[in-house]
Chains A and B, each alone.
Chain A
Amino acid sequence: MLPLNEDQIRTLTSAIDRIVPADDYPSASDLGCADFLLVLIASEGLSETYRAGLDGLNLESQKLGQKFSDLTPEAQDSILSLCEKRRVAAGWAVSPRKFFTLLARQTVEGYYADSGNGGNRGEVSWRMVGFEVRG
């Protein structure tokens, strides 16, 4: 069973694509970081934190009348930024800052660690930074 519902997965995918956005190189979800996180959330017992945090992001986006995943990238960034700076209103079941920090840290882990962990498909991020694996 997945640790998150469909809505939460949609929110997760949008959020991680702001943590590592697409440029000449793929975004976090393009390289499999959502799948990486789903496995990690289950194995590390983080379902409750992630559910609460992703619901919290939607709570904030409702103030703009939309689901988080339907917002523009700029609007998504400003919500994430408010979480980082502890400037979101009360009503979250988890500390917004704590959730944001975890999300950012673990997305970066997925994107830049080995592809065996499920993110960094095709070792694309390693090609991007210039880390080659031989032997």
Chain B
Amino acid sequence: MKVDAIVVGSGAGGGIAACILAEAGKSVLLLERGRNLAHSDVPRDHLRNHRLAQYGHGTGPELDGNPRLLNGRRYRPNEGGYNNNASAVGGGTLVYGMQAWRFHPLDFRMASTYGIPEGSSLADWPISYEDLAPYYERAEWEIGVAGEEPAPQMPLRKKYPMPGVPRSKKAKTLELGCQKLGWTSQVTPLLLNSVPRGGREACTQCQHCVGFGCPPDAKNGTHNTVIPRALATGRCTLMAETFVKRLIKSKGGRVTGVVTVDNEGIETRHEAEVVVLAGGAIETARLMLNSKVGGDAVGRNLQGHYYAVAAGYMPEPIYDGLGPGVSISTLEFNHGNEGVIGGGMMSDDFITMPIMFAKSFRPSSVPMWGQAHKDWMKKYSRFMQVGGPIHEIPSSECRVGVSGSVRDKYGVPVASLSGTTHPETVKTTKFMFQRAKQWLEASGAEDILIREPGLHLSAGQHQAGTCRMGVDPRDSVVDLRCRVHGHDNLFVADSSVHVTNGGFNPVLTIMALAFRTGDGIVGAW
């Protein structure tokens, strides 16, 4: 059966695109490789979640049969080198940390602001903050953000639909640290019900947030907002556990549909007028490469975020157990930093699981076992960390390819990641580590731990950039409407189109772009 539109992937971008198309009267087939999970299906397992995926991660992709390569080495979905994002209906939004940041206006103009470092593919976005602002607002209201006033570094905007989460004891201490340093701060905006909204409950401030499901269903993702809206039109069919093997092309570059395979291995052809890709920056590029669609630019400029995190101990216990745990941020260092390109937002963090504390924050002076280790673990309630994502300086050689020899359980060549970020990213990260340390020190923390960053590929949950938006098909993949150059009915509605990835968690930008792309498709139909 032919539908008006096929959307591949039901995460932050795909869920929104499907909703806009269905509400505009189009018949939509929304395809998702992962399962349709309720929050209660995602286990509260401290060793198998999206923060610590030691032996699994509680969603998809399944650990067996879905490998990826990084610099030639094979990884399973729960291993760091895989650069995973959750696969499930709602994608990463089922388990994410929901930070609801708009990118800074200068994030769209990195090349004009800083110049282009040699060997980097740093570029301006072909659209501006102002172009995206109305769509940011739609994401804030239609998915649902809780927060307060923007920091003075950001343009004014409409109030959020919900008040911000209360400040934790840690955040109150960090606020005093900011005051001492003369830094401004704000409540961290979250895609979370801080009060009941949309027929769902408010956050209960539990301790298991990022990486886990949300028992009261207060975490606002696409699975509990726009996807139900799409289904309510009666025009959208959601097919979970359905993997798209390849795009079907006709002569002249038109994409006429997709070939899917289900859990039983049964292949089906689906035809559509329009196809929207939203599988995330790695899987969208892989699908295009495996389908021989798009030019040489497909898969290039893979980027995510380096993180500069400092951790220390307060003289007295400071843990108050109030989730989600992230409630204060500073935008002092997103731009205007002497001697480095860009910067990033800094926040306190989600409540750290004790086993994460043990694995990520043990100083080299503490042994990995014995009484001294146990004594150190007892400092947990005095522990505090701050940090945040660094605006990466991309390289066109950091890329997604497809393997010539390794295939997944369906026989489809797997994604093969290679390259690293540009050295300027490391330089900015070093600068931001010092700022994180400074913030903790001013807040009264001692024994502060930071780590020396090295050059590597970063993608993971913030993966972006592999189908860059631009005017010239030689160095971009999609045009200003996020339509693939040379294919007038093929669109991309995920982070693949990001030219650069901002000094912020990128999900609200993915959502805003998906609203804009969806509107564009409907408007030109």
Interface residues of A (CB under 8 A from B): 18-21, 23, 25, 40, 43-44, 77, 80, 84, 101, 104-105, 107-109, 112-114, 116-117, 125-126, 128-135
Taking a contact as CB atoms under 8 Å apart, the answer to whether A135 and B369 are in contact is no
Kindly list 8 other residue pairs between chains A and B, CB separation below 8 angstroms, not including A23-B374, A128-B378: A20-B374, A77-B370, A80-B369, A112-B355, A112-B377, A113-B47, A131-B380, A132-B321
Interface residues of B (CB under 8 A from A): 43-47, 54-55, 204-208, 215-216, 317, 319, 321, 323, 353-355, 357-358, 368-371, 373-374, 377-378, 380-381
Residue contacts A-B, CB under 8 angstroms, 5 given: A18-B370, A104-B369, A109-B47, A114-B44, A135-B215
Tell me, rounded to whole Å, the shortest Cβ–Cβ distance linking B46 to chain A.
Answer: 4
Cβ–Cβ < 8 Å partners of A84 in chain B: 368-369
Residue of A nearest to B43 (CB): A116
Please classify the interface of chain B as helix (H, G, I), strand (E, B), loop, or mixed, using the class held by over half of its residues: loop
Residue of A nearest to B216 (CB): A135
Taking a contact as CB atoms under 8 Å apart, the answer to whether B206 and A135 are in contact is yes
Residue of A nearest to B368 (CB): A104
Cβ–Cβ < 8 Å partners of A112 in chain B: 46, 354-355, 357-358, 377
Cβ–Cβ < 8 Å partners of A23 in chain B: 371, 374
Tell me, rounded to whole Å, the shortest Cβ–Cβ distance linking A78 to chain B.
Answer: 12
Q: A21-B370, A77-B370, A105-B368 are in contact. Are A129 and B354 (CB under 8 A)?
A: yes
Task: Report the 7 A-B pairs with minimum CB-CB distance, sorted nearest first.
Answer: A130-B381, A129-B380, A135-B206, A113-B46, A135-B204, A19-B369, A112-B355
Please classify the interface of chain A as helix (H, G, I), strand (E, B), loop, or mixed, using the class held by over half of its residues: helix
Cβ–Cβ < 8 Å partners of B55 in chain A: 40, 43-44
A20 to B358, CA, bound (A): 13
Tell me, rounded to whole Å, the shortest Cβ–Cβ distance linking A105 to chain B.
Answer: 7
A20 to B355, CA, bound (A): 14
Tell me, rounded to whole Å, the shortest Cβ–Cβ distance linking B97 to chain A.
Answer: 18
Taking a contact as CB atoms under 8 Å apart, the answer to whether A21 and B371 are in contact is yes
Q: A18-B369, A109-B47, A114-B45 are in contact. Are A135 and B205 (CB under 8 A)?
A: yes
Q: A112-B355, A113-B46, A114-B45 are in contact. Are A129 and B207 (CB under 8 A)?
A: no
Q: A21-B370, A130-B319 are in contact. Are A116 and B44 (CB under 8 A)?
A: yes
Cβ–Cβ < 8 Å partners of A135 in chain B: 204-207, 215-216, 323
A116 to B44, CA, bound (A): 9
Residue of B nearest to A101 (CB): B368
Residue of A nearest to B379 (CB): A129
A131 to B318, CA, bound (A): 11
Cβ–Cβ < 8 Å partners of B355 in chain A: 108-109, 112-113
A15 to B394, CA, bound (A): 48
Cβ–Cβ < 8 Å partners of B353 in chain A: 113, 131
Cβ–Cβ < 8 Å partners of B374 in chain A: 20-21, 23, 25
Q: A21-B371, A131-B354, A135-B204 are in contact. Are A116 and B380 (CB under 8 A)?
A: no
Taking a contact as CB atoms under 8 Å apart, the answer to whether B377 and A129 are in contact is yes
Cβ–Cβ < 8 Å partners of A21 in chain B: 370-371, 374
Taking a contact as CB atoms under 8 Å apart, the answer to whether A117 and B204 are in contact is no
Tell me, rounded to whole Å, the shortest Cβ–Cβ distance linking B33 to chain A.
Answer: 25
A130 to B205, CA, bound (A): 17
Q: A19-B370, A108-B373 are in contact. Are A129 and B381 (CB under 8 A)?
A: yes
A45 to B191, CA, bound (A): 40
Taking a contact as CB atoms under 8 Å apart, the answer to whether A116 and B378 are in contact is no
A84 to B368, CA, bound (A): 10
Cβ–Cβ < 8 Å partners of A117 in chain B: 45-47
A131 to B380, CA, bound (A): 8
Cβ–Cβ < 8 Å partners of B205 in chain A: 134-135
Tell me, rounded to whole Å, the shortest Cβ–Cβ distance linking B316 to chain A.
Answer: 12
Cβ–Cβ < 8 Å partners of B204 in chain A: 135
Q: A23-B374, A117-B47 are in contact. Are A130 and B207 (CB under 8 A)?
A: no
Residue of B nearest to A44 (CB): B55
Select the residue from A18, A101, A134, A135 with max chain B CB neighbours within 10 A. Answer: A135
A112 to B370, CA, bound (A): 14
Tell me, rounded to whole Å, the shortest Cβ–Cβ distance linking A86 to chain B.
Answer: 14
Residue of A nearest to B56 (CB): A43
A84 to B370, CA, bound (A): 12
Cβ–Cβ < 8 Å partners of B216 in chain A: 135
